[in-house]
Amino acid sequence: MVGILDRHAYDQRRPSEVIWIRLPSDFGSPDYSRRRAKAITKHLSAIGETRVELLELFDDWLAPSVGLRQYLWAHRREAIETARKLIELIPPVVLKTVLGYLFLNYWGHYSGWPDLLVYRANQWFLAEVKSWRDKLNENQKRWIEDNHRYLHLPFKLVQVARGGVYCQHLEEIQSRAVCWDQCGRKLEAPKFGVHPSA
């Protein structure tokens, strides 16, 4: 059992009661993944292959997952809206691959993800945005390597410099893309040209 303070009360800066969540002591670790490998594989294989099925499953699990979502700081409405948007945008087989990756070692894999999800029409990619002085941290480097090896998600490293924005991977970004940051906030991308760096 894990005891946490109510995250909604925390957000509103008011007193909270302890919420008790039934979690194994190795939850989120590689040991948990190994110990529960058969059950995890069975669960992932049972997840539907269509967006409609995934959205239904998502909605069905909202109420039963309240405690776990609070524990993982995924309790805010914005997080739920972002998750629904991911289901709408990203093919189900890709989402299942991401879930499998997170199950392998949640505490080791949940950080380092890119800053933005950029999309328009039927195109999307993840973008890590850095200023010309900024460097990738170790978790970001690990995620980029893992993405290259296992996930194969569309990804761009974007460098913001004086006088322009440059993209170090793939094609030019269009000027009216819609972005979501890691906190689930919708961002309107400014009108700018993005060109591959030399």
Predicted confidence at residue 169, as pLDDT, reads 46
Predicted confidence at residue 96, as pLDDT, reads 92
Confidence of residue 44 (pLDDT cuts 50, 70, 90): confident
Which residue blocks in 37-110 are alpha helix, DSSP H? 37-46, 51-62, 66-71, 77-89, 92-104, 106-109
Residues 15-21 have a mean pLDDT of 87
Location of structure tokens 């997170």: 102
Residue 4 structure tokens: 């946490």
Q: Is the model's pLDDT at 174 over the cut of 50?
A: no
Helix (H, G, I), strand (E, B) or coil at 65: coil
Domain 111-198 has CATH 3.40.1350: yes
Location of structure tokens 């990804």: 155
Confidence of residue 163 (pLDDT cuts 50, 70, 90): low
Q: Is the model's pLDDT at 189 over the cut of 50?
A: no
- Any idea where the domains of the chain sit in the sequence? 1-110, 111-198
Ranking 91-95, 127-131, 191-195 by mean pLDDT, the lowest is 191-195
Q: Is the model's pLDDT at 183 over the cut of 80?
A: no
Q: How far apart are CA 197 and CA 187, in angstroms?
A: 24
Location of structure tokens 């805010």: 76
Predicted confidence at residue 127, as pLDDT, reads 93
Predicted confidence at residue 165, as pLDDT, reads 55
